[in-house]
Each structure stands twice: as C-alpha cells, then as structure tokens.
Structure 1
Amino acid sequence: METPMQETSGSKSSLRAKIQAMGGFLTNMVLPNIGAFIAWGLLTALFIPTGWIPNEYLAELVGPTITYLLPLLLAYTGGRMVGGQRGAVMGSIGAIGLIIGSDIPMFLGAMVIGPLGGWIIKRFDKLLENKIRAGFEMVVNNFSIGILGFFLLLLSYTVIGPIIQAANEAVTVAIEALVATGFLPLLSLINEPAKVLFLNNVIDQGIYYPLGMQQTLEAGKSIYFTVASNPGPGLGLLLAYTFFGNKIARRTAPGAIIIHFLGGIHELYFPYVLMKPLTILGMIAGAMSGIATFQLFDAGLVAGPSPGSIFAYLALTPRGNFVGIIAGVVVATIVSFLVTSLILKLDRKSDDDEDALNKSMEKSKTMKSEGKQVLNDSPAAADRKAVNKISFACDAGAGSSALGATTFRKKLQKANIEGIEVKHYRIEDVPEDSDIIVVHKNLLDRARLSFENHEIITIDNYIGDPKLEELLDELKER
C-alpha cells in the first residue's frame, strides 16, 4: 500500500510527465516548420528599413508571411499530428478564421486550433467508423470536413480568436511591464529550473517564440528569443565541470561543450546540473546576467534560434546587434563559470565520494558473470529475448536522443555487433516493436505513460552513461 507521501510524489511525477508531453507536442508542431521561421527571420534581417540591405519591394513579403504562412503551417502540422491529413485540413480551416479575425500574428491560436480541428475530425470519423454505406465514403468524407470546418471557421473567427487575442495581449502586457521595470532577468528564476526538468520546450515554443515573433514584426528584432535559449550559461557550467568536476565529469564535459555550444543541443548539460542541484544557482546567475547584458545593449534576434547554437545566434542577429549578442553570451558564460566553479570547489568531498561510487559501479560491472541479464530494474529484463531494435527517446526526438542513438550505433559497429536497429524518436512516437527504450531518468514517467510494458533503460547522460556501457557489454556477450 502506498503511503500518502508516495502518492503525492507519484502525482507530482505524473503531472511533470504530462507537462513534458505538452512541451514535446508543442515542439513537434514547431520543429518541422523551423525552416520557414528562419526564412522569415532572414527576410526581416535583410530587407526591412533597418535591415542589412533595405528593400521596400522585397520587405512586402515580411508581413503576409508572418500573418498567414507561419500560423497556417503550425495549425496544419498540429492538426496532422492529431487527426492525420484530414486533421491537417480541419486545423488549417480553423486557423484562417483566427488569422482574419485578429490584429496580431496568431501563433498561439494556431497551436490551439490546429490540434482542436484534428481532434474534432478524428472523433467524428470514429463515430462513423464502419457505418458508411459502400460507395458513399468520398461524399461523407468531403462533406464532413466541409460542414464541420464551416462551423469551426465561424467559431474561431467569432469566439476563439478574440479569447486567444485577449489572453495573448494580457501575457504581452505583463512581460512588457517586466521589461519596462528592468526586471526581465528575473524570468531566469523560472526558466533555468524548468529547463533542466526538460520543460524547456513549453517555455520557448509556448511562450517566448510567439511573443518574439510579434515584437520582431514591429521592431525588427526581439529579446524574447534570447531569454531561455542563451548557450552561455550552459557553456560556463560545462567549463566549470571541465576544470573542477570529478574525474568522470572532467572526462565527459569537454565533449558536451562542443555538442551544446556548437551543436545547440542544450539537453547535454542538464545531467550535470541534476548531478549537483546546487549548480542551478550558477545557471540562474549566468542567465540573469546574460539577459541584463542584452537589455543594456538593446540587443535581440530576428527569429528563434533552433537549435540554440552559437552559430544560430549569430546567423539570426540583425545589423547593429552583434556586440550586444556576443557580449550577452560571453557575460553569461563567465558568471555561470565563476558561480559553478565556486560551488564545485566548496563541495570537493562529495565529488570524491561520487567518483568512488562510480569506480565501485565500474568494478561491480566487470565482476558480473557472463550469463547475467539484468541491466536495470525493469520487470521485463528478466525474460528479455533477442534484441533487434533499440529506441533512444527524448522530448522532441531530434536533439539528445539523436546524439545518443548515433553514438551508440557507432559503438555497436566498432564492436562488430550487427543486426540491431538503433534509432531516435520523440517519446510518444517510439515504435511498439522496440525491444529496449532508452530515456533520460527525468523522462521515465512520461515514457511509462505510453510504454508501460516495455523495457525502459533510464540514463543520466545520452553519451558515456554507465548503463549504456552495461548494455553494450551484454550485447557483446550475446
């Protein structure tokens, strides 16, 4: 029987898993369309009056692209994710009602109406499943979307649109008030802890990117794109671990720096924070100082940097903002490095203990008998059969899981192990025929929501984790 404390802990984990899933859904609505957002950002950076090569004729593309194309793409993708191609059409019909009925770019609205349209048509199709007479399928399919889309179009134009616009304006006013008072850096108190709990996509795609696009349309740039995506704090943290961390951290942090700072996969530094939670203070201090520096130089980006690489930052920096953007990244790096280094140096004893623990784990791993099959605490591990498919999963399926899958696949090749498919996915998209699912430990609850009966290996780091080495050793034995 579970105690009240266990029940509370379980409910919190479940809530966090659901919020992570929502963030993952938002990310997968945005991610396929990032190219279009970058194209719009380049249009803005080049051709508006304050751009690199102002051109009145070409600048006419800026407004219609952000008003019509980008929200429609988001709604189409969201509808398709929920209801397939018919859901994509329904979501787009609903989105055009929002767009025509509002004075602002309807990004938030598109993220709501797209999935809603997909859900409506999916439910309708489920109700009529196996009830349509032969020969009438096309008539029913076309008219059902036409009629339901007609009502959704009216509803989005008259009701949903005004509600979303009012909510959007309220959020905008609140954050602009924060900007006006100079307290925008305080957002880091929320951003940084949320990011290391893998809620970064909820923040970026759900809040800052839509607000940033609105501001960019008016001012040609936005600071909102930088408040949660600055690669500086993560770089400072990893540099501190490189110089002052325990032996394992010193060995892995330099590789993580390259992938985080140049590749833009911020998830790589999350385990280092979770390994020593007090280092979140360094992340918060670095992020706050970065935002303050961006404010001081009145700097911003023209679109959301995805991935959050320094290359993406520089590519999306408008004319006259390079000094401010680079300064914000550098200052954030230095502050994060100094605070994190102090924390690590003051906590040297626990570092030594942790290093000893890792040595013990390595020693016990080598002492395992050849026939031992247990890799983790999963019930399915005891009677696991041949492994044909290993799926690495993360929040968006395109960052840390891709890195983990690629690294592990190379290790299999180096060990001459063939016949095992290793791919990366968004958690909810992992194939049912996966023999093993590998996720970060903070995403375990979310993975169990969809794959309760699968064997799930939880790791702290997508590269160089002891459990991945264990898995590799067992596959070698087989």
Structure 2
Amino acid sequence: MTTLSQPAAGSAPATKGGGRVAVQRFGTFLSGMIMPNIAAFIAWGLITAVFIQTGWLAQFGILVPAIGGFPSADGTLNIGLVSPMITYLLPLLIANTGGRMIYSTRGGVIAVIATMGVIVGSSVPMFIGAMIMGPLAAWLMKQVDKLWAGKIRPGFEMLVDNFSGGILGALLAVGAFYLIAPVITGLSNALETAVNWLVSAGLLPLASILVEPGKVLFLNNAINHGVFTPLGVQQVQESGKSILFLIEANPGPGLGILTAFALFGVGLSKSSAPGAIIIQFLGGIHEIYFPYVLMKPLVIIGAILGGMTGVFVNVIFHTGLRAPASPGSIFAILIETAPDSYVGVILSVIAAAAVSFIVTGIILRASRKRDLASENAGDLSAAIAQTEANKGKASSVLGRLQADGLADEKDALLNVGTYAGADTVEEIQRSQEAQGRAAVHNIVFACDAGMGSSAMGASVLRNKIKKAGIADVTVVNKAISNLTDDIDLVITHQDLTARAREKTPSAEHFSVDNFMSSPKYDEIVALLQRQSETEKA
C-alpha cells in the first residue's frame, strides 16, 4: 500500500532569531485572536458608518429608529446596536477565540465568562482586557483540569467538569471585575493619551519609522493588533473614526515600491512586479513586496518616507476609518472610510505611493548598471527565502513569485517534503512502501491562524486532486491550535511541523517549504493516484 511518508524526525530547522522571534510569536498569537473575527469588526464598522448621527444616512437627513433596547436620544441605532456590539460582542468574540487557541471549546467558554468581568468593570471597550483574560482563563482551566485528570469516578465526569468550570469562571469574573478591569482601563487611557499627544503634536508620522521596517520583518502584528486596533475602535466610539487604522494598512508605500521595480528593476524582479501590484494593491496582501525590499535593503527608506507621507496627509485632513481594513486592500480601505474622509484617505494613498516610488526609483536607477552586470541581479529567490524566514512560515503569495525560479525536477521533488536520502519519485515511493503506513484519506493544511497561506495551499491541492479524479481524499485547512489526533496527513511549513506533531502525534506529518509551489502538489497527487490504484487492485 502506497502512502505518503513521514518526514525524518528533527528535520525542521531550529527556529532562530532570539528576541525578534519572541516578538513575532507574540504578534502571531495576538493576530490569531483578532484575524478570525475581522468580519465582525467590519460588520460593526459598516453599521457604524451607516446609522450613527454622522453616518451615511444622516448625511441625507435620514434617521433610522432603534428597535428596542438602549434607544439613543435621537432615536437612531447609534446606541441601540453600535454600543452593545463594541462593548460586548467584539471583546467576547476575541476572548472566545483566544480561549479556544489555548484549550479548545472548554477554554473558549471559561474565557468568555472571565472576560465579562473586565467588560462590566471598565468604562472603555475591553479589547486589551479580552486578549489578556481570554487566554489566561483558558490556561488556568487547563491547569485545574489536570489536577484530577484520570482520578474521577465513572459517571461523575460531567458533574465535576461543569462545576469546576462554573466555580473557576465565577472566581475569575469577580476577580477580573475588581482587579484586572481597573488596571486595563488605566493602561488603555494611558495609551490613548499617548496617541492623542502624538496626533496633536504632529508626531504620528514618526510611527512609520518603526511600522514599515516592522512589516518587512513581520514584527508589526504585536503593535497593529495589540495597540492600534483596540485604541482605534475606542476612538471610533468617541469620534466616529480613527486614523490608527491607516498607519499600517495604507497600500501606498508598497504600491510605489512595486511600480518602481516594474519600471526600473531588472530580471525576475522587474517581470514579476506588475503581477505583485495587483495582489498587493487590490488584494491587500502587503507581504508580496517584502522580498523586493530585502533584495535592495535601501528601498526600506522609500517605504518609511512613503508611510510617513501617508500618515502626515491623514493628520492634515483629519481622516480616519470606521473599522480595521483587513486585508489592507484599497477596496477594504474605501469601504471603511468615514464619509468626511474620502478626499484625505485617497490623497494619503496617492501621496504615499508617489513618495515611495520616487525614492525607490532613485535607488534603483543609481544601481541599475551594476545590477545589469550582475548575474544574480533581479533574482528574488534568496529574498523570498529570507522573507519566509522572517515570517516563520511559508507564504502562499510569495510562492507564485518563487515558482518560476525552480531550477529542475530534482529541486521540485526535494521541496515536496523531507525525505531522508530521496532524490527521485521512485526513491520516495520505495521509502513510502517501506514505511507500511495506513492510506491517506484526509489531509489538513495547518498554519498559525488556519487562514491565508494554508487556505490557499489547501485550495490548490484540492483542485489538483479533483482534476486527477481522486474522490476519496479530503483537503481542508486549520489552525495548528485546532488540530485533533484523527487526521491522516498534516501539511505544514517545515518550521511549524514540530508544533503540529505535538497536536497530532498519530498523523503523518509532511513538511513543505512553500504552500503554493505547483510541482509539490503534482508529486503529491501522483503519489495519491498510486495509492488509489493500489487500493483498487
């Protein structure tokens, strides 16, 4: 029986980077709580943009009556729907997601109970409180359950589980109300005061000095989702919009950089830039331009100056968004733009793109002769590899850039997974047969958030399997934290395989270097076809 073989133990390289990796992991954890709930933020932003006193309908003199519950003074939905969503719905969604990341469904329940304490005990939206209490409560519940794991008499399991969860939840909610809520409230107010001071002093553009390099190194999530999003939502509640949502999401700097490479670049960097512009500017996937910056480090100057220009324009015009724009697509930004901010927002994108284009163009023109004389000029392979190393996992969109750089069939096969000493399909198949493992009928692509790169990789492989006529193999994508030990095969980036193996020790684990490299999936499909033929025989 032919199956996919498990990578050699210890094949995944050790993670390096020290403090950068620690911050990166922290940012990934924060984004893992926020990103799955972005749809709720967008829904709240749209409701806010349409129905509040300064919203779209009010611009035309239309007031929509609130239907029960918390009616506002003017009878609109301003308080009737907007306020409960920001006060309860959004923080509780974040808490539930954070709790599930730590301890599955039970962790999500205890996280919501505990977070109610900080919500009720605070006068500001408790996004930061939810991101703290949610995971903390789930972790405590996990430790409590360990105390009597395997010691409960049969028939009393549900009684003990329910009462232990209820008692701990009650204690955490009360404790959060009296102890945690005041601290988080003070922290939120201090951060808001600091941001307001930067805005009033005209110093907010300086944030780009940290944000733009942080984006390239994938260190921005801790700031963006840990500070900008919670404070931005709080500002929306107070003034109807927030400039903080535009600091990181502005696609202008990336647009300018890619346009400069499309006009003045050489080799693959020049030919791939036009396609990257579509993905970055329209699709909102900013990481597509990071390899171009890493290939020419001086280009980061263009990104910083472009970002500062965009923020400066938004400060001058007092613009802002109603909700986070995620991904950072021009469409998402325009949809969430406050009614009185369209001119400023559009100008900020144009100005940021123009400045980054000019600076990047000067840098590329200055080194053009030297680049043309270099054999490796315009080769994105090393820069893409460095970008994925910074991210800590493979990137689906960067795979499209890298696919053209695959040298030969052997390199493609080596990228399929980690097979000790296997250089050809025949050797891989012999290795599989020697393993004698069970057939593979369900495949899971796993990454940190269970979205983005793993979703696109799963889609690509699913389509190839369908076209090959293989009907008994399912392919889905999940977050590593949601993996269960009933999966036949788990596909992860090589840096994440060890974490996935802890969640699914019984599964076969398949390490890849890039989720979007088509030669990998062609080989996987070929192996699955052989498995199918063997089973039929």
Point out where structure 1 has 5 or more consecutive residues left out of the alignment. 1-9
Cα distance per residue 1:183-228 (max 9 Å; x no partner): 1011111111111122332222111000000101000000000011
Structure 2 residue 452 is matched with structure 1 residue 399: yes
Given the alignment of the two structures, is residue 42 of structure 1 paired with residue 40 of structure 2, yes or no?
A: no
Normalising by structure 1, report the TM-score. 0.84
Specify the SS of the correspondent of 1:103: coil
Given that 2:192 and 2:231 are in contact with CA atoms closer than 8 Å, whether structure 1 keeps it comes out as: yes
Q: Could you say what secondary structure the match of 1:170 adopts?
A: helix
User: Residues 160 and 380 from structure 1, CA distance in 2 versus in 1: closer, same or farther, beyond 3 angstroms?
Assistant: farther
> Are 1:222 and 1:301, in contact at CA under 8 Å, matched by a contact in 2?
yes
Partner SS, residue 354 of structure 1: coil
Alignment of 1:153-172 (within 5 A): 153-172=173-192
* Preserved contact between residue 44 and residue 302 of structure 1 (Cα < 8 Å): yes
Amino acid at match of 1:458: D
* Matched pairs, number: 456
State the one-letter code of the partner of 2:375. D
For 1:52, the equivalent position in structure 2 comes to 56
The whole-number CA distance in structure 1 between the counterparts of 2:409 and 2:39 is 50
Q: Normalising by the residue count of structure 2, what TM-score does the alignment of the two structures yield?
A: 0.75
- Pair 413,93 (structure 1): closer, same or farther in 2 beyond 3 Å: closer
Letter in 1 for 2:128: L
In structure 2, the CA distance between the partners of 1:243 and 1:402, relative to structure 1 (3 Å rule), is farther
- The answer for the alignment partner of 1:338 in structure 2 is 358
- C-alpha displacement of 1:338: 1.4
Conserved? CA contact 2:268–2:379, under 8 Å: no
Match of 1:233 in 2: 253
Instruction: Report the Cα distance in structure 2 between the residues aligned to 1:82 and 1:363, rounded to whole angstroms.
Output: 39
- Cα 1:341–1:293 change in 2 (3 A) is same
Which amino acid is 1:35 matched to? A
- What is the Cα deviation at residue 16 of structure 1? 3.0
Separation of aligned partners in 2, 1:128 and 1:267: 46
Q: Which structure's residues are more often helix, by fraction?
A: 1
Give 1:132 shift.
Answer: 1.0
| Pairwise CA distance, 1:22 | 2.4
Q: Secondary structure at the match of 1:365?
A: coil
Partner amino acid, structure 2, of 1:282? G
How far apart are residue 398 of structure 1 and its match?
2.3
Contact conserved, 1:374 with 1:381, CA < 8 A, in 2?
A: no
Matched residue, 1:21: 25
From 82, 89, 92, the counterpart of 2:112: 92
1:198 to 202, 205, 218: 218
Contact 1:239 1:257 in 2 (8 A): yes
Kept in 2, the 8 Å contact 1:212–1:222? The answer is yes
Cα 1:235/1:427, change in 2 over 3 Å: farther
**8 Å CA contact retained: 2:413, 2:520:** no
- Taking the aligned partners of 1:473 and 1:64, their CA distance within structure 2 comes to 50
Q: Distance in 2 between matches of 1:73 and 1:278?
A: 41
Distance 1:85 1:336 in 2: 46
2:386 is aligned to none
RMSD: 3.4
Structure 1 residue corresponding to 2:128, chosen from 89, 93, 108: 108
Q: Relative to structure 2, which stretch is displaced further, 134-143 or 221-230?
A: 134-143
8 Å contact 2:416–2:520 — kept in the other structure?
no
How many Å separate the matches in 2 of 1:275 and 1:454?
32
Distance 1:205 1:269 in 2: 21
* 1:24-52 C-alpha deviation (Å, 9 max, x unpaired): 22222122222221121112212222111
CA contact (8 A) 1:289 1:335 kept: yes
Aligned residue number for residue 7 of structure 1: none
C-alpha distance 341-417 of structure 1, shift in aligned 2 (>3 A): farther
Match of 2:237 among 190, 193, 217: 217
1:6 match: none
SS in 1 for 2:513: strand
Q: 1:121 maps to what in 2?
A: 141
Verify the 8 A CA contact 1:28 1:396 in the aligned structure 2: yes
Residue 239 of structure 1 contacts residue 253 of structure 1 at CA under 8 Å; is this kept in 2? Answer: yes
Opposite residue 59 of structure 1, the aligned amino acid is N
The 2-side partners of 1:108 and 1:431 are apart by: 29
CA distance in 1, matches of 2:32, 2:302: 30
Paired residue type of 2:407: K
Distance 1:381 1:329 in 2: 51
2:413/2:519 contact within 8 Å kept: no
How far off is 1:13 after superposition?
1.4
Which one-letter code corresponds to 2:96 in the other structure? Y
Residue pair 2:283, 2:327 contacting (<8 A) in 1 also:
yes
**2-side partners of 1:225 and 1:287: how far apart?**
13
Change in 2 beyond 3 A, CA 1:284/1:392? farther
Q: 2:88 aligns with which of 48, 65, 68?
A: 68
Shift of 1:421: 6.7
* Higher RCO structure (Cα 8 Å, ≥6 apart): 2
Name the CA shift for 1:458/1:445 in 2 (closer, same or farther; >3 Å).
same
